[in-house]
Chains A and B, each alone.
Chain A
Amino acid sequence: EEQLVESGGGLVQPGGSLRLSCVASGFTLSSYWMQWVRQVPGKGLVWVSRMSSDGRNIAYAESVKGRFTISRDNDKNTLYLQMNSLRVEDTAVYYCARGYGIALWGQGTLVTVSS
C-alpha cells in the first residue's frame, strides 16, 4: 500500500525551529513531485512548497520563503520540511503530498507555535 507518514510536529516557541519528516512507503519518493500543504484547524488548505522529482524545481509560498526549506533523502525515501524563524501564524497541521497535482496525502502533523 502506498502511504505517506509525517512526523516531527509539536510545540515550539516563536523564533524557534522544527524539521518535519514524511516517510514514503510502497513507492519511490524520488520518482515523484512532492509538496507540503498546511491547514489551520477549522480553516482551509494552503500550499506551502513543492519540489520536482529531479529536485531542480523548488518553489515556496511567499509567506514561508527564506524561512522554510524543502528537501529529500532518497536513501531514506523521506521528504523534509525545515522550518526556521517560526511565527505564531505558522501554527497548522502540515500535510505532505505526492504529485505535481496531488494524488496522495499523508495524515498530517500538528505544529503549534506559541510562547
Chain B
Amino acid sequence: DIQMTQSPSSLSASVGDRVTITCRASQDISNYLAWFQQRPGKAPKSLIYVASSLQSGVPSRFSGSGSGTDFTLTISSLQPEDFATYYCQQYNNYPLTFGQGTRLEIK
C-alpha cells in the first residue's frame, strides 16, 4: 500500500497568514493527488485534483503543486472559514489512501 504522510499534523496560524501543508507519498504517484477540506461536523469538500488543478468554485487563494512523491497545498492568505482539517489522497493505486490529516487552528 502507498502511505501518504502529511506534515505538520497540526498548525496554528492567523487570519491573513500564508500556510503550506506537505503531503509525501511512499512511492511515485505521478500527479494523482487530491486535497480536501473538512470543517467540524461537515462532509469533506474537494479543493484540488491532479495535484494542482482547482475544483470549480474553490477560491484562488488555494493552490497545489508537486508530482511524484512530494506535494504541497498552499493557502495564500488565510480566511476565517479556512480553519479546518485538510487531507491529501492518492487515487491511482489501489488501495486508495489518505493522509492522516492536518488540523489548521486559529492562533
Contacts and interface: CB of A to CB of B under 8 A. Distances in A.
Contacts of A100: 91
A27 to B, nearest CB: 13
A101 B43 contact: no
A106 B49 contact: no
Contacts of A46: 98
Interface in B58-107: 87, 89, 91, 94-101
A37 B38 CA distance: 14
Interface of B is mostly: loop
Interface in A78-115: 95, 99-108
Given A100-B91, A101-B32, A101-B91, A95 B44 contact: yes
A45 B99 CA distance: 8
Given A45-B36, A46-B98, A102 B43 contact: no
B21 interface: no
Nearest to B95: A61
A45 B95 CA distance: 13
A107 B45 CA distance: 10
B98 A44 contact: yes
A48 B98 CA distance: 11
Contacts of A37: 44
Contacts of A102: 34, 36, 44, 46, 89, 91
Interface string B10-26: 00000000000000000
A24 B95 CA distance: 25
Interface of A: 35, 37, 44-47, 50, 59, 61-62, 95, 99-108
Given A37-B44, A101-B49, 9 more contacts: A45-B44, A45-B89, A46-B98, A47-B89, A50-B96, A59-B94, A62-B95, A101-B91, A102-B36
13 contacts: A44-B99, A47-B95, A47-B96, A47-B98, A50-B96, A61-B95, A62-B95, A95-B44, A101-B32, A101-B34, A102-B34, A102-B91, A106-B43
